[in-house]
């Protein structure tokens, strides 16, 4: 399921990042890649806030839709 419809507050595993290579590389540098653990904090409005490692990231809904988690 895309990260923006995942349950809030639960640790999830990234299964797939469906973006072009440049975006994938940037997300990997931020800690979001296949197999990494992230937690959805909020998905209200047009953005999504996630916890990656010990930091928080704000992603737009379009990019968040390309991150598939389980």
Q: Where are the domains of the chain?
A: 3-69
In the structure encoding, which two tokens stand for residue 70, read together?
Answer: 């389980």
Q: Of 53, 47, 49, nearest to 33 (Cα)?
A: 53
Which pTM does this prediction carry?
Answer: 0.90
Give the CA dihedral 22, 45, 9, 51, nearest 10 degrees. Answer: 30
| Structure confidence at residue 5 as a pLDDT band (50, 70, 90) | very high
- Residue-wise pLDDT tens digits, 32-70: 999 999 999 999 888 999 999 999 999 999 999 999 999
pLDDT reported for residue 46: 86
Given this structure, which CATH class describes domain 3-69?
A: mainly beta
Per-residue CA distances from 66 to 15, 54 (Å): 11, 22
Mean pLDDT of 10-28: 96
């Amino acid at each position: 399921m895309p990260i923006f419809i995942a349950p809030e507050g639960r640790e999830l595993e990234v299964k797939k990042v469906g973006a072009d290579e440049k975006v994938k590389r940037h997300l990997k540098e931020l800690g979001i890649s296949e197999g990494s653990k992230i937690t959805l904090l909020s998905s209200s409005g047009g953005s999504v806030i996630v916890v990656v490692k010990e930091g928080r990231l704000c992603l737009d809904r379009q990019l968040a839709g390309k991150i598939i988690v389980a």
